[in-house]
Amino acid sequence: MSNVYVVIMAGGIGSRFWPESRIKKPKQFLDILNTGETLIQTTYARFLKIADKDNIFIVTNEQYIPTVQEQLPEITAEQILAEPMRKNTAPCIAYACHVIAQRDPEAVVIISPSDHLMLNEDKFLLTALEALDYAQQHEVLLTLGIKPTRPDTGYGYVQFEESTVAGHIHKVKTFTEKPDLELARTFIKSGDFLWNAGIFVWSVKSIMEAFDHLQQDIHQAFWAARKSFGTPEERRMIEKAYSICPNISIDYAIMEKADNVYVIPSAFGWSDLGTWASLYDNYEKDYYGNAVKGENVMIYDATNNMIMANKDKLVVVQGLEEYIIIDTDDVLLICRKDKEQEIKDITTDLKRQEKDEYL
**Domains along the chain?**
4-271 (3.90.550.10), 276-358 (no CATH)
Residue 102 has a CB neighbour count (10 Å cut-off) of 14
- Cα–Cα distance, 77 to 53 (Å, whole number): 13
pLDDT at 207: 97
Instruction: Give phi and psi for 40, each to the nearest 5.
Output: -70, -35
> Three-state DSSP class for 161?
strand
More confident call, 127 vs 154: 127
Instruction: Give phi and psi for 61, each to the nearest 5.
Output: -70, 150
Average pLDDT over residues 75-79: 94
Q: Does 297 score more than 80 pLDDT?
A: yes
189: exposed, middle or buried (Cβ count in 10 Å: 0-12, 13-18, 19+): exposed
Q: Which residues contact 53 (CB under 8 A, 6 or more apart)?
A: 74, 75
The per-residue pLDDT for range 320-353, each reduced to its tens digit, is 999 999 999 899 999 999 888 888 889 999 989 9
56: exposed, middle or buried (Cβ count in 10 Å: 0-12, 13-18, 19+): buried
Average pLDDT over residues 133-155: 89
pLDDT at 15: 81
Average pLDDT over residues 233-243: 94
Q: What is the mean pLDDT of the chain?
A: 91
The per-residue pLDDT for range 34-56, each reduced to its tens digit, is 889 999 999 999 999 999 999 99
pLDDT at 96: 96
The per-residue pLDDT for range 175-227, each reduced to its tens digit, is 887 888 888 888 888 888 899 889 999 999 999 999 999 999 999 999 999 98
pLDDT at 344: 84
pLDDT at 80: 96
Residue 320 has a CB neighbour count (10 Å cut-off) of 19
> Three-state DSSP class for 18?
coil
Q: Does 1 score more than 70 pLDDT?
A: no
pLDDT interval class at 149 (50, 70, 90):
confident
Q: Does 172 score more than 80 pLDDT?
A: yes
